[in-house]
């Protein structure tokens, strides 16, 4: 497992750069095998670290996989003794505090399978420089606190008519030998990770946006000709994002042009490069025939996220990679609020919290557990995590809750004003919030440095004689790797109280508030409410006001009451989840003890009440009717018994389906849509509930239900309904039926990359026995491409990360399969390999047999040879649990 380059980098060791780069002039002569890169850098000694009469330190330039051709200072070629090339970069001595450095390098984009730096994607040149990809383009101080103004000239054969980079186009023409030449200039200083270049035979759609100050901005979305009809939704989403950012945050776009490029081969969802956002095709291209509702909403959210980065990430960037959540946590919060305003706020919150509970909480409790701002890392790409992004967003949300919307806006205004054009820290963000409002968030800062998911235990008492209701809340954060003795956090807990008739109680007569925010700052605190005429039922942690696990001993009857009466839609859903978890835990106990599984009566009654409530938003009903995933059930604490979880969940699903079949059928027919597709919140809600009903109907095993699914599949009015019907037919039809429908679907859509990825995912996610064998065949399918991260995510990750039932096969073959795939992928794309290994990292959490099998799979990876830094860090930390 040895990695000779593996070393730990610590936040405490941060030092400001010795040199700054005021201007970067880049020239590219593109060639698949031998691209020539010339860089001219205007460099000066950093005055913040310079000392009088000092001997100038060497200049260090990061570099990887580069062929060095020449190095010059102020126009003079340097002799060999003036510089030294070694692993990781180039060191050169200098005798002047200011100089112009010119470096010529050669790179091979076609051979770059890591998809970092400059590489070829389906014949298109593309870059990905965050976090440390720029060093694969040229030797450079590749760190976020070195900010420079960039000018980029691209020279390419005429077969690449579109040549793009950051900023505004300032020149174009042809060379003497007939090649195309374009020069771009970005007037805003930026770190190297925000550099971008694209070259290809592309088409584009164009629109414009008039900013709040009256400037007209050109908007362009580039893609291959075959996808040009799938750009309208992304363009609309971009314009909505630009308007929303002006209205909610006062942020106006600053360049003359904003461009988006869709790329098939991309490790991430998208990248916020200044003025030239590069997107994974799956995150920007959509049409009703080829993309599901979830894809439409994901595209809207990601387009907004990358656009919002123009201020929260580009104009104000992070000082070092430990501060990654400074830009990502803040921007995820911003895009979540945007999506909530564009769609159903309750459903958006439910989706975000579900991701936290199923995956981020697991990360908090695993070997890679780290704070929102990590203290150390071996490979920075491993810290593009749910903790940095999603928990980071929850930390920002808590500040918003503590201060209130108006105060939060004052804080963000000060933050952008104070730090525009700077590379700053998480403390700078919090300080702006404090200074703008005279607030004290000193204790709150612990959220940035303390890992783990806090657990809240809540007890209540009621004094009838005094009319006082009291809540006692205790907090504790479990120990995590490298962190013991956790300190109390400042946790905002939004609370409401319900009367016996279900009406909300007024908790603040002066303000007429039906809910209040309790500020838990001690290990244990008591909160008392006066003037309460009878014992209320608490509605706790409304809107999921903090990323914590909450324990309060609700009875089944109380949970059903909250499901029907709570005025907070998130807590109505959460009560349903809690009722489901309680029923599933009972079924697991019955399974382990060998008893016959019993109908979950309380759960069926609760679901029936939800189905019968015509006043509820259909989108919320669909969410409430969805059983907790196996992954979420596994995170409820204690040893994970995969077989018991699978048995309990399958039994509960079938019992609900059978008991409520008539209700599901009635709602299904009431929601059938035979109208033009629209991705509006209302239509998406109706399709969501309709397809939830269809899934349960098919689970009940009725031939009539399968006929409904067959009819919906064959009508094919939109991809949402088609894919939902196909999923039900694959899951509940016979093997012969499933194969027939899958082949019909593939024959129709085999020319469409995104739809084929949907087809892959439907198969890899099937809970049917035999899915592993099907997945192994899919890897050999002509449409599968191991160098394409989207295909890998659809097939391999779809099986290992989203198919709990078949990944945890009793013979351990699922674990062995994943280990083999990770070993192979590490040679091609270390980032993807390191992310894929995640399901194996929590081996100690499982019962003995599964734990041993998962551990063996990890060991297989560890002895397979020298691993990349990315994979080495994850595997070594996972095995440290021995």
| Residue 5 confidence (pLDDT) | 63
How much of the chain, in percent, has pLDDT values that exceed 90? Answer: 96
With residue 89 as reference, give the H or E element that holds it.
strand 89-92
**Dihedral angle of Cα 642, 644, 648, 649, to the nearest 10 degrees:** 0
**pLDDT over threshold 90, residue 882:** no
Show which residues are catalytic.
306
Whether 116 and 63 map to the same domain: the answer is yes
Rounded Cα distance, 788 and 550, in Å: 41
Dihedrals phi, psi of 480, to nearest 5 degrees: -130, 165
| Residue 63 confidence (pLDDT) | 98
In this structure, is residue 874 part of a structural domain?
A: no
Locate the DSSP E strands across 224-303: 257-263, 270-271, 276-280
User: Which residues have C-beta within 8 Å of that of residue 169, sequence separation ≥ 6?
Assistant: 182, 183, 184, 257
In this structure, is residue 646 part of a structural domain?
A: no
**pLDDT over threshold 60, residue 510:** no
Please count the other Cβ atoms lying within 10 Å of the Cβ belonging to residue 882.
9
| Residue 511 confidence (pLDDT) | 61
Rounded Cα distance, 434 and 426, in Å: 13
**pLDDT over threshold 70, residue 2:** no
In this structure, is residue 551 part of a structural domain?
A: no
Q: How confident is the model at residue 673 (pLDDT cuts 50, 70, 90)?
A: confident
> At which of 147, 169, 201 does a domain end?
201
Gyration radius from the chain CA atoms = 28
> At which of 422, 449, 476 does a domain end?
449
Q: How confident is the model at residue 6 (pLDDT cuts 50, 70, 90)?
A: confident
User: The CATH number of the domain where 135 resides is what?
Assistant: 2.60.40.1730
Q: How confident is the model at residue 793 (pLDDT cuts 50, 70, 90)?
A: very high
Helices 293-308 and 232-249, axial angle in degrees (round to 10) = 50
In this structure, is residue 810 part of a structural domain?
A: no
Q: How confident is the model at residue 634 (pLDDT cuts 50, 70, 90)?
A: very high
Q: What residues are paired with 259 via a beta bridge?
A: 220, 276
Q: How confident is the model at residue 350 (pLDDT cuts 50, 70, 90)?
A: very high
Structure tokens at 797: 């990750």
**pLDDT over threshold 70, residue 110:** yes
Whether 46 and 140 map to the same domain: the answer is yes
Least confident of 20-24, 219-223, 504-508, 843-847: 504-508
Rounded Cα distance, 342 and 680, in Å: 9
Domain count, the chain: 3
Whether 197 and 240 map to the same domain: the answer is no
- The per-residue pLDDT for range 146-198, each reduced to its tens digit, is 999 999 999 999 999 999 999 999 999 999 999 999 999 999 999 999 999 99
In this structure, is residue 724 part of a structural domain?
A: no
Whether 183 and 223 map to the same domain: the answer is no
Whether 196 and 230 map to the same domain: the answer is no
**pLDDT over threshold 60, residue 312:** yes
In this structure, is residue 651 part of a structural domain?
A: no
If you average pLDDT over every residue of the chain, what do you get? 96
User: Which residues have C-beta within 8 Å of that of residue 623, sequence separation ≥ 6?
Assistant: 347, 350, 573
Rounded Cα distance, 673 and 688, in Å: 12
User: The CATH number of the domain where 242 resides is what?
Assistant: 3.30.2010.30
Whether 17 and 155 map to the same domain: the answer is yes
Q: Which domain holds residue 303?
A: 207-310
Whether 56 and 180 map to the same domain: the answer is yes
User: The CATH number of the domain where 378 resides is what?
Assistant: 1.10.390.10
Whether 37 and 134 map to the same domain: the answer is yes
Whether 186 and 220 map to the same domain: the answer is no
Mean pLDDT of 763-790: 97
> At which of 183, 201, 219 does a domain end?
201
Whether 34 and 87 map to the same domain: the answer is yes
Whether 150 and 241 map to the same domain: the answer is no
| Residue 17 confidence (pLDDT) | 98
The pTM of the full predicted model, rounded to 2 decimals, is 0.97
- The per-residue pLDDT for range 444-475, each reduced to its tens digit, is 999 999 999 999 999 999 999 999 999 999 99
In this structure, is residue 370 part of a structural domain?
A: yes
| Residue 513 confidence (pLDDT) | 86
In this structure, is residue 64 part of a structural domain?
A: yes
Three-state SS for 348? helix
In a 13 Å sphere around the CA of 713, the CA atoms on its Cβ side amount to 26
Please count the other Cβ atoms lying within 10 Å of the Cβ belonging to residue 112.
18
Structure tokens at 732: 């509940």
**pLDDT over threshold 70, residue 558:** yes
Whether 227 and 82 map to the same domain: the answer is no
Rounded Cα distance, 78 and 846, in Å: 60
Q: How confident is the model at residue 3 (pLDDT cuts 50, 70, 90)?
A: low
């Amino acid at each position: 497992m040895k990695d000779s380059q593996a070393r730990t980098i610590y936040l405490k060791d941060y030092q400001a750069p010795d040199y700054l780069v005021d201007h970067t002039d880049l020239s590219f002569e593109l060639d698949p095998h031998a691209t020539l890169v010339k860089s001219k850098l205007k460099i000066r000694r950093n005055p913040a670290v310079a000392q009088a009469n000092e001997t100038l330190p060497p200049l260090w330039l990061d570099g990887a996989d580069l062929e060095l051709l020449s190095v010059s200072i102020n126009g003079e070629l340097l002799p060999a003794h003036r510089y030294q090339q070694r692993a990781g970069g180039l060191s050169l001595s200098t005798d002047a505090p200011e100089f112009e450095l010119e470096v010529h390098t050669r790179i091979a984009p076609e051979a770059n399978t890591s998809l970092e730096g400059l590489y070829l994607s389906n014949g298109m040149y593309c870059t990905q420089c965050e976090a440390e990809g720029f060093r694969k383009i040229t030797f450079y101080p590749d760190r976020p606190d070195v900010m420079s103004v960039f000018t980029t000239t691209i020279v390419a054969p005429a077969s690449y008519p579109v040549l793009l980079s950051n900023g505004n186009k300032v020149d174009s023409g042809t060379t003497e030998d007939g090649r195309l030449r374009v020069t771009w200039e970005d007037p805003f200083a930026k770190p190297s990770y925000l550099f971008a270049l694209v070259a290809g035979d592309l088409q584009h759609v164009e629109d414009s946006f008039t900013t709040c100050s009256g400037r007209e901005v050109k908007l362009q979305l580039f893609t291959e000709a075959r996808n040009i009809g799938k750009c309208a939704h992304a363009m609309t989403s971009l314009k909505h994002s630009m308007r929303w950012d002006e209205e909610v945050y006062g942020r106006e776009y600053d360049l003359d042009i904003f461009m988006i490029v869709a790329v098939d081969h991309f490790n991430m969802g998208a990248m916020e490069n200044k003025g030239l956002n590069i997107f994974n095709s799956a995150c920007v291209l959509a049409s009703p025939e080829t993309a599901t509702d979830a894809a439409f909403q994901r595209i809207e959210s990601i387009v907004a996220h990358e656009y919002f980065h123009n201020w929260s990430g580009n104009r104000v960037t992070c000082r070092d990679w430990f501060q990654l959540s400074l830009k990502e946590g803040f921007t995820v919060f911003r895009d979540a609020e945007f999506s909530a305003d564009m769609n159903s706020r309750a459903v958006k919150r439910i989706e975000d919290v579900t991701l936290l509970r199923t995956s981020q909480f697991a990360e908090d409790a695993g070997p890679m557990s780290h704070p929102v701002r990590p203290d150390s890392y071996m490979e920075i790409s491993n810290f593009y995590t749910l903790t940095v992004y999603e928990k980071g967003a929850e930390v920002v949300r808590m500040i918003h809750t503590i201060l209130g919307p108006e105060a939060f806006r004052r804080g963000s205004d000060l933050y952008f004003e104070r730090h525009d054009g700077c590379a700053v820290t998480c403390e700078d963000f919090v300080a702006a919030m404090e200074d703008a409002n005279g607030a004290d968030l000193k204790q709150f800062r612990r959220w940035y440095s303390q890992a783990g998911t806090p657990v809240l235990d809540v007890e209540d008492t009621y004094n009838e004689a005094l009319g006082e209701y009291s809540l006692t809340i205790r907090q504790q954060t479990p120990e995590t790797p490298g962190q013991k003795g956790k300190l109390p956090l400042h946790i905002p807990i939004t609370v409401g109280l319900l009367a016996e008739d279900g009406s909300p109680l007024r908790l603040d007569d002066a303000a007429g508030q039906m809910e209040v925010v309790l500020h838990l700052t001690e290990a244990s605190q008591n909160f008392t409410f006066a003037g309460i005429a009878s014992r209320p039922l608490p509605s706790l942690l409304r809107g999921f006001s903090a990323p914590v696990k909450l324990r309060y001993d609700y009875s089944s009857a109380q949970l059903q009451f909250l499901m029907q009466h709570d005025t907070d839609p998130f807590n109505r859903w959460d009560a349903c989840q809690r009722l489901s978890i309680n029923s599933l835990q009972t079924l697991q106990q019955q399974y382990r003890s060998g008893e016959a599984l019993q109908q979950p009566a309380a759960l069926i009654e609760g679901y029936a009440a939800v189905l019968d409530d015509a006043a509820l938003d259909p989108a919320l009903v669909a969410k409430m009717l969805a059983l907790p995933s196996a992954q979420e059930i596994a995170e409820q604490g204690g040893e994970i018994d995969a077989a018991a979880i699978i048995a309990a969940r399958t039994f509960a699903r079938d019992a609900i389906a059978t008991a409520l079949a008539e209700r599901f059928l009635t709602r299904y027919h009431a929601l059938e849509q035979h109208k033009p597709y629209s991705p509006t919140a209302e239509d998406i809600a109706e399709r969501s509930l309709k397809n939830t009903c269809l899934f349960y109907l098919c689970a009940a095993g009725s031939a009539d239900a399968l006929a409904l699914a067959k009819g919906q599949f064959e009508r094919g009015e939109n991809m949402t309904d088609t894919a939902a019907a196909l999923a039900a037919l694959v899951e509940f039809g016979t093997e012969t039926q499933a194969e027939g429908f899958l082949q019909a679907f593939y024959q129709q859509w085999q020319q469409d990359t995104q739809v084929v990825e949907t087809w892959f995912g439907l198969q890899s996610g099937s809970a049917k026995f035999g899915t592993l064998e099907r997945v192994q065949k899919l890897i050999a399918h002509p449409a599968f491409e191991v160098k394409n991260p989207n295909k890998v995510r659809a097939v391999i990750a779809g099986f290992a990360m989203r198919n709990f039932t078949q990944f945890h096969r009793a013979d351990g073959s699922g674990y062995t399969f994943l280990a083999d795939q990770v070993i192979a992928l590490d040679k091609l794309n270390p980032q993807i390999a390191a992310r894929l290994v995640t399901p194996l990292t929590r081996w100690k959490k499982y019962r003995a047999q599964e734990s041993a099998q998962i551990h063996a799979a990890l060991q297989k990876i560890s002895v397979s040879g020298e691993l990349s830094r990315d994979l080495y860090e994850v595997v070594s930390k996972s095995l440290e649990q021995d």
